Amino acid sequence: MKPRTSSVVLAHAVLVTFIALVMVPLVIVVSISLRRGNFAANGIFPTAETFSLEHWRRVLGLVEGGEPVLLWFWNSVKVSAVAASGILLLSATAAYAFARMKFAGKEPLLNSLLILQMFPMVLSLIAIYSILETLGRFWPALGLNSHGGLILAYLGGVAMHIWMIKGYFASMPVSIEESASVDGASPWQTFWMIMLPSAMPIFAVVFILSFIGMMGEYPLASVVLQDTRHWTLAVGANSFLYEQNYLWGDFAATAVLSGVPITILFLFCQRFLVSGLTAGGVKE
């Protein structure tokens, strides 16, 4: 066997092994969702005798008196999509300013944004709770126990995305904007008609990463959302795990359901993800 051929075979073997390891948790979760009862008593993988769709019937609302899982699912998709869109809008405009404009305090602001990302959002729960409680007295739609308040809190996590998009903008040649300016384009037209279309790959990456992060976010959502019908899927799924009885089957079915919109989003944006994660901006 030639050295190059053996290297290719080894690389494929490593990749197949890695994919198999990644798939094991997913297979186990799907298997638990298709078993009757809890896996602790009946094992993990379903058999002909233990195969059942009882957990999926409860999750999909086909059983009366069950939890409103589909409502939680819709709440998660709605909050994640709106918040990810807001994060993309804020981070794209801010990143363009940091990449192309000159103003006082530019470097200290960039460094401050990077330092802020060293502290997880969970450390600011008390501050966020206090801010939303005060804001809710004047504008209930942006206060506690509201999706607007949760989205507003999520919009604070734009710092790392600003750095990502700024790096992409910085890799794009300035000559493109100079040519547009010579042709009579205003700064806004240059940004809207040239820079934004060229940066679609990194925008897709930022949107997907934001969406995934907020679909599975629990600590902040559990503090802000207090009404059961306002819960997101992550908060609602946690209600299946209480001390008296762990409903692992229902929890597993809910976990699989949460991956559906993420999978659809990945498939829809796949062509942008490849170039957004592996390539820079437009070259000279």
Q: Please give the tally of structural domains in the chain.
A: 2
Q: Do 84 and 180 belong to one domain?
A: yes
CATH number for position 95: 1.10.3720.10
Q: Do 5 and 84 belong to one domain?
A: no
Give the type of residue at 84: A
Can you give the pLDDT of all 284 residues of the chain as single tens digits?
A: 556 677 888 888 999 999 888 888 888 888 888 888 776 555 667 776 778 888 899 888 888 877 899 999 999 999 999 999 999 999 998 998 888 888 888 888 888 888 887 777 778 889 999 999 999 999 989 999 999 999 999 998 888 889 889 888 888 888 887 787 887 777 788 888 888 888 888 898 899 999 999 998 999 999 999 899 999 999 999 888 877 778 888 899 999 999 999 989 888 877 766 654 455 444 44
CA–CA distance from 25 to each of 22, 45, 67, 130, 135 (Å)?
Answer: 7, 12, 25, 38, 42
Kindly report the pTM of this predicted structure.
Answer: 0.85
Neighbours of 79 (CB within 10 A): 23
Tell me whether residue 263 is in a domain.
yes
Q: Which of 207, 237, 260 is nearest to 26 (CA)?
A: 260
For residue 189, give both structure tokens.
């037209």
Q: How far apart are CA 13 and CA 9, in angstroms?
A: 6
Quick one: DSSP state of residue 142?
A: G
Neighbours of 167 (CB within 10 A): 15
Q: Do 81 and 46 belong to one domain?
A: no
The per-type count for the chain, helices as H runs and strands as E runs, is 16, 2
On whether the CB atoms of residues 234 and 218 are closer than 8 A, the answer is yes
Name residues whose C-beta falls within 8 Å of residue 188's C-beta, 6 or more positions apart in sequence: none
Q: Do 24 and 157 belong to one domain?
A: no
Q: How far apart are CA 239 and CA 69, in angstroms?
A: 11
Q: Do 51 and 173 belong to one domain?
A: no
